[in-house]
């Protein structure tokens, strides 16, 4: 069953996975990261890099992911990779399995050590939480879920393979359960955490916000009212451009940026509205 509306449309969407020296993000380090997916226009993204953790990789950890001290000896340190990771993740939809409890805390710790600010994705979707929210029978590890949905997972526990499989798993779960994903992508994470935002998403403009005329090239992010433009998706859904200009201008900056979801014509329309507000 295909979804009538894809909440990921118009977004950069990236499967994300890490391999590390151990399980404790406070004392262990990243040895591999992968970002696999596509830009909003469909161009593919495939980044899979080793990282020198500047510490020994325990043999028991190497037995899991296969990465040795010799493999990372000449790899860059994390601080050399931080800018690329940040540029890719900023404003993107990040998809990971157990990402909230494992990968994201590791990433935060590494950015803190590097003295650089964390990127701000549009949304972080944890496929482990989504599987549990959908009440899919156990087991819920990535290998078991991929088997359930007919996804071939070769080279499991390598960052690139796990990131790609996680992204495909999300699409499979969305196709099988479309009724739960008819909401802005930012609200899927809240739903996965048990917070139902169905009513909140329409409370500002009422239930007919989707009936407002979309700005061409905005993929539904900008809609037209007799009072001017409003945001049609995301955390500022229903708010006017003038209102956001004062309360959350960085959000508008992101919309206009190359990482945002708007086409060139929609960016020009938004810029004109901002100049008038």
219-235 confidence digits (pLDDT tens): 889 998 877 899 988 87
Helix boundaries (H) for the chain: 59-65, 69-72, 78-89, 104-114, 127-133, 142-148, 159-176, 185-192, 241-247, 249-256, 264-276
Q: How far is CA 178 from CA 164, 181, 188, 235, in A?
A: 21, 5, 12, 21
* Residue-level pLDDT at 196: 59
Please give the DSSP secondary-structure letter assigned to residue 58: P
pLDDT category at 160 given cuts 50, 70, 90 is very high
pLDDT for 195: 77
For the ranges 83-92, 93-102, 164-173, 240-249, which has the lowest average pLDDT? 240-249
Asked if the model's pLDDT at residue 52 lies above 90, the reply is yes
pLDDT for residue 122: 94
- Is the per-residue pLDDT at 183 higher than 80? yes
Check whether 16 has a pLDDT greater than 50.
yes
The full set of domains in the chain, from first to last, is: 13-192 (3.30.420.10), 200-276 (no CATH)
Report, as an integer, the average pLDDT of 10-29: 96
Q: Is the peptide bond before 150 cis (omega within 30 degrees of 0)?
A: no
pLDDT at 234: 80
How many beta carbons lie within 10 A of that of residue 107, not counting itself?
A: 25
Confidence of residue 236 (pLDDT cuts 50, 70, 90): confident
- Average pLDDT for residues 29-57, to the nearest whole number? 97
What are all long-range contacts of 144-149, with beta carbons under 8 Å and residues at least 24 apart?
145/97, 145/169, 149/173, 149/176
Residue-wise pLDDT for 166-177, tens only, equals 999 999 999 999
DSSP assignment of 130-181 equals HHHHTTPPSP-SHHHHHHHTT----STTSHHHHHHHHHHHHHHHHHH-GGGG
- Most confident option among 114-118, 150-154, 231-235: 114-118
Is the pLDDT at 4 greater than 60? The verdict is no
Whole-number pLDDT of residue 204: 41
Task: Tell me which of 36-40, 99-103, 104-108, 153-157 is least confident.
Answer: 153-157
Nearest to 35 by CA among 21, 51, 52, 49: 49
Strand ranges (DSSP E) for 181-226? 213-214, 222-225
């Amino acid at each position: 069953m295909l979804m009538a509306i894809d909440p990921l449309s118009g977004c950069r969407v990236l499967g994300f996975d890490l391999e590390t020296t151990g399980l404790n993000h406070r004392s262990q380090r990243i040895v591999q990261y992968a970002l696999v997916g596509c830009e909003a226009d469909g161009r593919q993204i495939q980044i899979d890099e080793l990282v020198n953790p500047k510490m020994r990789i325990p043999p028991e950890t190497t037995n899991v992911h296969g990465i040795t001290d010799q493999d990372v000896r000449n790899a860059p340190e994390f601080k050399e990779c931080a800018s690329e990771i940040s540029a890719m993740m900023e404003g993107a939809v990040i998809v990971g399995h157990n990402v909230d409890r494992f990968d994201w805390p590791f990433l935060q710790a590494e950015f803190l050590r590097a003295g650089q600010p964390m990127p701000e994705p549009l949304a972080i979707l944890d496929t482990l939480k989504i599987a549990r929210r959908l009440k899919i029978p156990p087991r819920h590890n990535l290998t078991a879920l991929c088997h359930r949905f007919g996804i071939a997972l070769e080279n499991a526990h390598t960052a690139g393979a796990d990131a790609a499989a996680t992204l495909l798993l999300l699409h499979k779960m969305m196709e099988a359960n479309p009724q739960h994903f008819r909401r802005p992508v930012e609200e899927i994470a809240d739903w996965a955490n048990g917070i139902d935002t169905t009513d909140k998403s329409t409370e500002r403009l009422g239930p007919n916000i989707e009936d407002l005329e979309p700005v061409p090239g905005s993929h539904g992010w900008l809609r037209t009212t007799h009072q001017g433009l409003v945001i049609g998706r995301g955390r500022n859904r229903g708010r006017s451009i003038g209102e956001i200009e004062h309360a959350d201008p960085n959000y508008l900056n992101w919309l206009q940026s190359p990482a945002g979801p708007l086409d060139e014509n929609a960016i020009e329309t938004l810029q004109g509205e901002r100049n008038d507000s």
